[in-house]
Chains A and B, each alone.
Chain A
Amino acid sequence: EVRLVESGGGLVQPGGSLRLSCVVSGFTFSDHHMDWVRQAPGKGLECVARSKNKRDGYIAEYDASVKDRFTISRDDSKNSLYLQMNSLKTEDTAVYYCVRDSMQYSMDVWGKGTTVTVSS
């Protein structure tokens, strides 16, 4: 069974930092691009970061809203994806989903999400 399990969410003050983790199982992690997609309360979906697969050199891509503040990384030996979030803003408050890219122009497996709240 393919599974993605996120952790690391919580309450943090504006300007603070948080590191999200996602442990995957049930597939060959290094074969897939992986994404972090967030959803602010009552809002739509936003892909904030992508880690390309081993074949594509683990290239990282970011949405403009988080570039230079967030860093995506992965450890294929631990089947783990990470999102280091620095200089957090209140508008970063959201549920953050770890997502597998199907490699066929879609996101086919989603974790349950972890909630990040940025508030003083």
Chain B
Amino acid sequence: DIQLTQSPSFLSASVGDRVTITCRASQGINTYLAWYQQKSGRAPNLLIYKASVLPIGVPSRFSGSGYGTEFTLTIGSLQPEDFATYYCQQFKSYPVTFGQGTRLEIK
């Protein structure tokens, strides 16, 4: 199975900050990477697919980049509603696997 490692696991930031979360894959996955946001008690929500593509309705302050084994999710200017847990996910091979999550909290 392909392992995904996110860093950091926990991040404390303020409204208006720019934050970056990294996801590293145990082997190359091209751009078959997605990012999800999950708020407490709710199902995850798709933020980015194919490493850098935003679905319709996702705010433009979210961006993704990367190829192969290293990927980043950047939030350009944190808003109050962005404080949540973020997961990366690989779609290169089954079983699709997720990173362990990055919990983003208000400083």
Q: Give chain A's interface residues, CB within 8 Å of chain B.
A: 35, 44-47, 50, 61-64, 97, 102, 104-108, 110-113
- Residues of chain B within 8 A (CB-CB) of A50 are 94, 96
Residues A61 and B43 in contact, CB atoms below 8 Å apart = no
The residue that B95 contacts in the complex, of A61, A105, A113, with Cβ under 8 A, is A61
The interface of chain B, by Cβ under 8 A from chain A, is 1, 32-34, 36, 38, 42-46, 49-50, 55, 87, 89, 91, 94-101
Give Cα A50–Cα B97 distance, bound, in whole angstroms. 12
- B97 lies within 8 A of A47 (CB): yes
Find chain A residues with CB under 8 A from B100 CB.
44
Can you report 28 A-B residue pairs in the complex whose CB atoms are below 8 A from each other?
Answer: A35-B96, A44-B87, A44-B98, A45-B36, A45-B87, A45-B89, A45-B98, A50-B94, A50-B96, A61-B95, A63-B95, A64-B1, A102-B46, A104-B49, A104-B50, A105-B32, A105-B91, A106-B49, A106-B50, A106-B89, A107-B34, A107-B36, A107-B46, A108-B46, A110-B43, A110-B44, A110-B45, A111-B43
Residues on A with beta carbons closer than 8 Å to the beta carbon of B94: 50, 61
- Interface of B, helix, strand, loop or mixed by DSSP: loop
Which residues in A have their C-beta under 8 angstroms from that of B98?
Answer: 44-47
